[in-house]
Amino acid sequence: MKRAYELLLILYPRAHRDQFAEEMKQVFEAAAGERRGQGSASYARFALSEIIGLMAGAARAWLAPEHAARLAAARYLHLPREVAAAQQRVDASIAGMVDAIANHQFEKAREFSNLEREARANLRMAQERYGMES
């Protein structure tokens, strides 16, 4: 199980692995040792739980703001710089609006909605300048 755990750490972004992998392995090994002493059924539940937790943690790490921004930027590499910047402003406005709604900050959500409307208008103009469809 230790080998599988170490292999699954590959799912995490490199920066996250560099910072936390050794500590994660140590904590896992200590917990695994305790569970082994509680019987095979307990250890099996523990192992399954750890594998699921590791995969979920890796997904969260990739979706963290610094990685999300990097992934989002990669989505726009094929676009002209002006169009890409306009699309990123639309995406940022939507993300801000979603966050505000999730936190029951409806006045702030309304502000992001207005920003999104303006950003979409700017995006349409940029797309038209480059002969792109919206």
Residues 21 and 54 reside in one and the same domain: yes
Arithmetic mean of pLDDT over the chain: 88
**Alpha-carbon gap, residue 49 to 55, rounded angstroms:** 10
Is pLDDT above 80 for 80? yes
Structural domain count of the chain: 2
In a domain, 124, yes or no: yes
Instruction: Give pLDDT, residue 79.
Output: 87
User: Where is the domain boundary, 11, 40, 63?
Assistant: 63
Q: Give per-residue pLDDT as tens, 92-110.
A: 899 889 888 988 999 999 9
In a domain, 134, yes or no: no
Residues 31 and 80 reside in one and the same domain: no
Residues 52 and 81 reside in one and the same domain: no
> Domain span at residue 56?
2-63
Q: Give per-residue pLDDT as tens, 16-25.
A: 888 888 988 9
pTM of the predicted protein model: 0.48
Instruction: Give pLDDT, residue 15.
Output: 82
User: Where is the domain boundary, 42, 63, 84?
Assistant: 63
63-89: average pLDDT:
79
Q: How confident is the model at residue 72 (pLDDT cuts 50, 70, 90)?
A: low
Instruction: Give pLDDT, residue 2.
Output: 87
In a domain, 15, yes or no: yes
Instruction: Give pLDDT, residue 73.
Output: 66
29-45: average pLDDT:
90
